Amino acid sequence: MIALFYIAAFVAVISTLMAITRFNAVHALIYLVVSLLSVAVIFYLLGAPFAAALEVIIYAGAIMVLLIFMVMMLHLGETSIQQEKQWLNWSVWLGPGFLSLILLVEMSYLLVVSNEPGEGLTVVDATQVGIALYGPYIITVELAAILLLAGIVGAYYLGQEKRRVLHRFLNQEDND
Amino acid sequence: MIDLPTSHVIILAMVLFILGLIGLLARRNILFMLMSVEIMLNAAGLVFVVGSSKWAEADGQLMFIFILSMAAAEVAVGLALILQFYKKFNTLDADAASNLKG
């Protein structure tokens, strides 16, 4: 139980360290995904299965896909094929693959052998979280909804192309 | 079964937060700076979750969910800003935008 936590913590620290020291953004993102997965395993060990699932789905899934998508968008051009060949080199995914293999073994051990947290800790499952979320915390849910709406509108406004206004005699950029 | 010490989890969260802070301060690529902010937010969420399971309350996990939604909104806006930054300066170096318009 306690050894599992230290292994997951070791994987988290190593992969985070690798993530902030890579020069290639895609390599760093792969290590960052491994780091988030190991934090998800730690959440599971701490008796928070719902938070662990959310960590995998939203952090390692949605947010990292958004970042990888952005890296792909920024690297358009002649060199992109060369670069993707370099990214798919086997030595690139060997390190993250090994670290996530450790996490997989740990996770399957947890699922098969025991899913109880340590003695000082209690499992807080999705039912309790849901009751609290839509009970006393309903105003915060609404605030989060407003925040996400603001995020969508902001991303849409900032992400759009700058309009070029063509007058009859002068070609100037619309500065808004 | 051995008692999992809460303080060790908090030390782990601290280490992850400091790694994120070092990444934010040391790297000049704006994409890596955004990633470091994600690492720091994740470390803060870890502290909330360990508090939640120590006191057997759901509040910590709720705070983690709000951190998660805040991180999602932040990444969406941040990536749109990076896209505009790259279009304007043709680089991802944050020092390229050190001068304000004026």
Residue A169 pLDDT > 90, yes or no?
no
Enclosing H/E stretch for B47: helix B30-54
Residue of A nearest to B58 (CA): A129
What mean pLDDT is predicted for residues A26-35? 90
Q: What is the pLDDT of residue A55?
A: 92
Question: Using CA of residue A117, residue A18, residue B64, residue A126, what is the dihedral sign?
Answer: negative
Q: pLDDT tens digit string along B9-39?
A: 999 999 999 999 999 999 888 889 999 999 9
Q: What is the pLDDT of residue B1?
A: 40
Fold exhibited by the domain A2-121: Four Helix Bundle (Hemerythrin (Met), subunit A) (1.20.120)
Cβ contacts of residue B98 below 8 Å, gap of 6+? none
Which of B56, B86, B17 is CA-nearest to residue A73? B86
Residue A9 pLDDT > 80, yes or no?
yes
Lookup: tokens for A61: 């899934």
Q: Which residues pair with A166 in a beta bridge?
A: A171
Q: Decide: pTM greater than 0.90.
A: no
Burial of B54 (0-12, 13-18, 19+ CB in 10 A): middle
Helix axes A25-45, A90-112, angle to 10 degrees: 10
| Domain B28-94 listed as CATH 2.60.40.10 | no
Lookup: tokens for B12: 């782990």
* CA–CA gap between residue B59 and residue B62 (Å, rounded): 5
Task: Please tell me if residue A104 touches chain B, with a CB cutoff of 8 Å.
Answer: no
User: What does the mean pLDDT of chain A come to?
Assistant: 82
**Domain spans of chain B, in order of start:** 28-94
Lowest-pLDDT choice from A9-13, A70-74, A149-153, B10-14: A70-74
Residue A127 pLDDT > 80, yes or no?
yes
Burial of B94 (0-12, 13-18, 19+ CB in 10 A): middle
What residues in A contact B37, CB-CB < 8 Å? none
- Total beta-carbon pairs less than 8 A apart between chain A and chain B: 191
Task: Please tell me if residue B22 touches chain A, with a CB cutoff of 8 Å.
Answer: yes
Task: Please tell me if residue A7 touches chain B, with a CB cutoff of 8 Å.
Answer: no
Residue A139 pLDDT > 90, yes or no?
yes
Cβ contacts of residue B75 below 8 Å, gap of 6+? A63, A66, A67, B34, B38
Instruction: For residue B55, count other CB atoms closer than 10 A to its CB.
Output: 13
**Domain spans of chain A, in order of start:** 2-121
Higher pLDDT, A161 or A63: A63
Task: Please tell me if residue B47 touches chain A, with a CB cutoff of 8 Å.
Answer: no
* CA-based nearest distance A106→chain B, Å: 16
Residue A124 pLDDT > 90, yes or no?
no
Q: Helix %, strand %, coil % for chain A, to 5?
A: 75, 5, 25
Q: What is the pLDDT of residue A71?
A: 81
Higher pLDDT, A62 or B90: A62
* CA–CA gap between residue A64 and residue B39 (Å, rounded): 12
ipTM above 0.85, yes or no: yes
* CA–CA gap between residue A85 and residue A24 (Å, rounded): 13
The share of chain A scoring above pLDDT 70, in percent, equals 78
* CA–CA gap between residue A29 and residue A65 (Å, rounded): 9
Residue of B nearest to A154 (CA): B77
Instruction: For residue B42, count other CB atoms closer than 10 A to its CB.
Output: 27
| B91 confidence band (pLDDT: 50, 70, 90) | confident
| A116 confidence band (pLDDT: 50, 70, 90) | low
